[in-house]
Structure 1
């Protein structure tokens, strides 16, 4: 299992950063490897990604979600095994910190080799920079889901 933890500060209020992160279907606009995400219901999504030229599909479930604080998920079926959490921290009225933690199991020789040289961490750093540019340029989220999902024991 590989663990990636990356953080970025964004010049938008924490609610704006959080609201954008709840708009899963917009992820292809700032996450390079995401081809599409379909929101099936409040807690289930279907992902199509392309990693190192290899296309994968999987379903994920939101395991915990609290407005302006965190979104956690885990894959439940498909070509990849991973889980993660994004946390949101208010720095001041106009800026916030976004931290992503992803635990994933590299599949195949290419992904295992990439994991050894930190390719996953570099990809997450790039995606966070893309998110920063996306949300700061917009200044507002494309939508919001402010529901609450308690962690399942």
Structure 2
């Protein structure tokens, strides 16, 4: 498994960022390639993802940890992907969002565009950085 960690500082309280992270239906607004997302009850979500010219349905299980400061997720269908989003309060009005993505480059290569597609580490880094920037814009506009 390969892992990628990125972070971004957001000008909102941690509770507001936490609430926004849990709005599954808003994922298409800040996660590149997600065309539709919906909660499936309990701690499960369904995502329709387009990448590398292909559409892929993913099911994910989401678990909250660390007293509401870390959201962990794991795909239960499609490519084996996992990760977490941790919120670290900087002060009462600022939060650091730490993202960690774990993936097997061989397992995501075929579903997400072949040898030069989604599986390239630099492409994944750019996607995650872009998603964090978009999340920051959206959550700061919502405050």
Name the TM-score class by shorter chain: 0.7 to 0.9
Question: For 1:79-98, what per-residue CA distance to the aligned partner results, in whole angstroms no more than 9, with x for missing partners?
Answer: 22101110000001110000
List structure 1 segments (4+ residues) > 4 angstroms apart after TM superposition: none
Q: Any stretches of 5+ residues in structure 1 without a counterpart?
A: 140-153
Distance (Å, rounded) in 2 between the aligned partners of 1:66 and 1:117: 29
Structure scoring higher RCO (CA < 8 A, sep ≥ 6) equals 1
Q: 1:19 to 1:66 in 2, by over 3 A?
A: farther
TM-score (norm 1): 0.82
**Counterpart in 2 of 1:87?**
86
1:56–1:80 contact (8 Å) kept in structure 2: no
RMSD: 1.7
| Residue 52 of structure 1: how far off its partner (Å) | 2.2
Q: Taking structure 2 as the reference length, what is the TM-score of the superposition?
A: 0.88
Match of 1:120 among 107, 120, 124: 124
For residue 64 of structure 1, report the CA deviation from its aligned partner: 3.6
Pair 1:133–1:111, CA change in 2 (3 A)? farther
Structure 2, gaps ≥5 residues long: none
Q: Distance in 2 between matches of 1:23 and 1:45?
A: 11
Separation in 2, partners of 1:111, 1:4: 20
Structure 1 Cα separation of the partners of residues 86 and 130 of structure 2: 17
Q: Does structure 1 residue 20 correspond to structure 2 residue 24? A: no
Give aligned pairs, total. 138
User: Hey, what does 1:71 align to over in structure 2?
Assistant: 71
Tell me if the contact between 1:43 and 1:62 (Cα under 8 Å) persists in the aligned partners. yes
